[in-house]
Structure 1
Amino acid sequence: MSLTSGLNTAGGRAVLRQARANIDGWIALLRRFSRQRPGLKLWPWSGRVVVGATVTISVLIGVVMVLADASAIAASRALPQGIRSVFDEITDFGKSGWFLWPIGLFLAALALTATPSVGRIGAGVAASLAIRLTFVFAAIAVPGLLVAIVKRLIGRARPYVNGSADPYSYDPFAWKAAYASLPSGHATTAFAAAVAIGAVWPQTRPYVWLYALLIGVSRVIVTAHHPSDVIAGAVV
């Protein structure tokens, strides 16, 4: 039996109706819960502060690109293979899938199987958790998607793509993984996760920031990115 035919049966329609009722109930509950929560107080950024920060960060990335990129990659290449192997394992945990898949599946399961009629305390806990996890999901997914597009448009070559640690090799709009070095997607994911999780659960900040720093360092040690790529990814 195909999925479509299965859903067309009486039992399948009942499951869909129940899932829709669950989702509608949770949406209504989340709306009530979010209205009861105090709004987030955003930092009063001014246009001058934003422009100043952008210019400062851009200059920093440029300085690192000129003074540190080539030498850092050469030094990483000279490290003992054992150290590089350790960081090769660490760097895999910078992939967004480690966060997005578990969070997405949990939220989907919550929407499809849970019912709002779990009591006031249970509903409040579930709604609070759903709001926080949705925020973390968006905070990781949106910058990650943006970087995935921008890095391919910029077209900066990864270290040793052309046989050397040349930090000035570019092929804009190449849309190839070998020319998708700036910014680092792993660094974007790691630092976005650190900021989001640290904001939602402040007690985790030392651990998530240590995680982000390890991922950033690992991208240079495994010679997948230049230091300036990592800084750019972290800032995004």
Structure 2
Amino acid sequence: MSELEDPYRAMSAVSLYRRSLGNFLDTTRIVQRRFAVRPARYPEIPWLVWVSAWLLLAIAIGLTLDSAAGRMRGGWTPGFVRFTDFLTDFGLGGWYLIPAVLCLVAANLTDWRRLSRSSRLLVYNWTCFAFLVLCAVGLSGLAVNLLKYGIGRARPLYFNDYGVLSLHPFAMDARFAGFPSGHATTMGAVFGVLLLLFPRRWHIALAASALIASTRVFVGAHYPSDTVAGFGLGLAFAIAAGLVFARLGFIFRRPSSTRPVPKRTFRLLSSSGSKGKTSLARRSREQLSADRP
């Protein structure tokens, strides 16, 4: 029996490898083709104005609150510290990157040709969503690590030793990796993704993500200006990723004069009932038509 199973397993592994490689190559060709035929038409976002405002806000926060935060480090009540310690872990990139990668791996191993039209649309939307999260959170995470170690600002934990503005560029030491905050950058990217996909619920997304980002101050890992700078950096990467996705026709319609707008076909949950199936099938046909380069 084992002699029969080994060739079968080998054939299954080869088939899975070919399917995975085929899906990857198909996706690569689609992206390349759309970049080639779709013009770089992006909304006229005043990036310089927004970046200047973000930097001025970080500087203003730094001048007014950073010293106070350094002096108050360790002065919070134990219960409050435990609460912020619990919340701050949700600012780790792994909470968002690992599920996104697993979703992409599952989609890569899926035999799309055997899916129904509605199921294919659902898997397609989840794949695009996971890739958007991966781009926004992952790329902003790489950028913030380059910046924080390049700038080398001492953390509030060492306020008594180094003060509020002690810079050690490229020290490659975690003690001097305060500006910008990596956790806050992650939460800024998460907020940006939610803002693009669910613009009507932006205030809820902002409150939750800003709350988690602010915990870095209370646990003594960052100054307030570190979190403001990181949050803005993550948000900028998410918006930029959304603009590129809109150009490619993934999730969003072609860029308008304001911001990327999700397509009517973008849904992460399947509709129930025959009416829902009919509607989903119609949206699937619209998606396939709209996604042609």
Supply the distance in 1 between the matched residues of 2:205 and 2:119 (Cα, whole angstroms).
28
Q: Deviations over 1:23-79 (max 9, x none)?
A: 4566678899x89xxx99843125xxx333333332322222222101023235322
- Residue 129 of structure 2 corresponds to 132
- Residue 20 of structure 2 corresponds to 19
- Pairing partner for 1:55 from 52, 76, 92: 52
TM-score by length of 1: 0.82
Q: CA deviation at 1:9?
A: 4.4
| Larger CA deviation: 59-68 vs 211-220 | 59-68
| Larger CA deviation: 120-129 vs 153-162 | 120-129
For 2:13, give the aligned amino acid: G
- Residue 144 of structure 1 corresponds to 141
Supply the distance in 2 between the matched residues of 1:116 and 1:202 (Cα, whole angstroms).
33
Question: Cα 1:205–1:57, aligned 2, differ >3 Å: closer, same or farther?
Answer: closer
Supply the distance in 2 between the matched residues of 1:207 and 1:162 (Cα, whole angstroms).
34
| Larger CA deviation: 223-232 vs 206-215 | 206-215
TM-score by length of 2: 0.67
Supply the distance in 1 between the matched residues of 2:41 and 2:96 (Cα, whole angstroms).
26
**Paired residue total:** 224
Q: Which runs of 5+ in 2 are unaligned?
A: 1-6, 234-293
- Pairing partner for 1:91 from 88, 93, 96: 88
For 1:173, give the aligned amino acid: F
The question of whether the paired residues in 1 share the 8 Å contact of 2:150 and 2:169 is answered with yes
Question: Cα 1:185–1:171, aligned 2, differ >3 Å: closer, same or farther?
Answer: same
Q: CA deviation at 1:105?
A: 0.5
Q: CA deviation at 1:206?
A: 3.9
Supply the distance in 1 between the matched residues of 2:19 and 2:117 (Cα, whole angstroms).
21
- Residue 214 of structure 1 corresponds to 211
Task: Tell me the SS of whatever aligns to 1:160.
Answer: helix
The question of whether the paired residues in 2 share the 8 Å contact of 1:73 and 1:165 is answered with no
For 1:140, give the aligned amino acid: V
Question: Cα 1:116–1:26, aligned 2, differ >3 Å: closer, same or farther?
Answer: farther
User: Alignment identity in percent?
Assistant: 27
Q: CA deviation at 1:222?
A: 0.6
Question: Cα 1:202–1:55, aligned 2, differ >3 Å: closer, same or farther?
Answer: closer
Question: Cα 1:146–1:31, aligned 2, differ >3 Å: closer, same or farther?
Answer: closer
Q: CA deviation at 1:173?
A: 0.9
Q: CA deviation at 1:205?
A: 3.2
Supply the distance in 2 between the matched residues of 1:124 and 1:88 (Cα, whole angstroms).
39
Q: Deviations over 1:113-147 (max 9, x none)?
A: 34233122221222122112211221111111100
Q: Deviations over 1:126-179 (max 9, x none)?
A: 212211221122111111110011100000000132535721111111011110
The question of whether the paired residues in 1 share the 8 Å contact of 2:66 and 2:225 is answered with yes
